[in-house]
């Protein structure tokens, strides 16, 4: 079953972004993932949660690929860089496409 990592990011500074976004698409692709959504300018449709600065959805063939991506050394290195200037809430969900 297809799996999706869904994330919401709050950006505190942009120092990390150029290096991160130069590499993250290749790391995702190496795990057979692809970005379904990657963007900013969120608009509240319902609820009262704080809006993030950016959101993303990454599609993987299954949970095993998503978990392998999240745990791989290359992603963990990039995640450390990202944490230097942002905070992230992310979940893994099963879905269809």
The CA distance from 62 to 30, in Å, is: 14
Residue 23 maps to a domain: yes
Q: Partners of 16 in the beta sheet?
A: none
**CATH code of the domain in which 28 resides:** 3.30.70.100
The CA distance from 63 to 43, in Å, is: 29
| Predicted TM-score (pTM) of this structure | 0.94
Residue 48 maps to a domain: no
Per-residue pLDDT of the chain (97 residues; tens, 9 = 90+): 999 999 999 999 999 999 999 999 999 999 999 999 999 999 999 999 999 999 999 999 999 999 999 999 999 999 999 999 999 999 999 998 7
Q: How many domains does the chain have?
A: 1
Query: What residues make up the domain containing 12?
Result: 3-42+54-94
């Amino acid at each position: 079953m297809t799996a999706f990592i869904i994330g919401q990011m709050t950006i505190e500074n942009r120092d990390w972004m150029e290096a991160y976004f130069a590499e993250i698409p290749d790391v995702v692709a190496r795990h057979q993932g692809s970005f379904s959504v990657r963007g900013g300018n969120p608009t509240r449709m319902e609820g009262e949660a704080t809006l993030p600065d950016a959101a993303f959805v990454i599609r993987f063939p299954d949970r095993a690929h998503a978990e392998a991506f999240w745990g791989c050394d290359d992603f963990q290195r990039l995640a450390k860089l990202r944490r230097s200037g942002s905070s992230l809430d992310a979940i893994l969900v099963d879905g269809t496409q």
